[in-house]
Amino acid sequence: MKILIVDDSRVSRMFVRKALPERIKNTAEFREAENGEQAIATYKEWHPGLVLLDLTMPGMTGYEVLEALKAFDPGARVVIVSADIQQSAVQRVMQLGALTHINKPIDAQKIEALFQRLEASTS
């Protein structure tokens, strides 16, 4: 699986990657983007199977990136990984087509359950 991690913080991108299940870390290909424009360009060039996207970034917000990715590829699988836990934020990303929302810091059990669902849906 190809996974694109999008966050303006290098440290946050590292923590997201570290939180992934070992089998995913050992088998997936990873790319990172530090802003929305870079995320969209990388997606269009590389076609990842999953995008882990922060909401709060300078320039393009995660909402705008999600909208752009879904406009380019309605089948894009995007998971929001954000510290913004307001119900309105969660509802908005779900309406925009995100698969789910995972709060930072990432709970290992929740990310494991996410990957189990993803693997079940692709088999």
Three-state secondary structure call for residue 81: strand
Q: What is the pLDDT of residue 123?
A: 63
Output the pLDDT for position 50. 97
Architecture of domain 2-116: 3-Layer(aba) Sandwich (3.40)
Which pLDDT belongs to residue 122? 72
pLDDT at 118 over 90: no
List, for residues 19-58, the tens digit of each pLDDT value. Answer: 999 999 999 999 999 999 999 999 999 999 999 999 999 9
Kindly state the helix (H) or strand (E) to which residue 41 belongs, with its residue range: helix 36-46
Tokens of 62: 């995660």
**66-78: per-residue pLDDT in tens?**
999 999 999 999 9
91-95 contacts, C-beta under 8 A, 24 or more apart: 92/63, 93/55, 93/62, 93/63, 93/66
What is the spatial distance between Cα 113 and Cα 95, in angstroms, rounded to a whole number? 21
The beta strand positions in 1-123, using DSSP E, are 2-6, 29-33, 50-53, 78-82, 100-103
Structural domain spans, the chain: 2-116
CA distance 47 to 58: 24
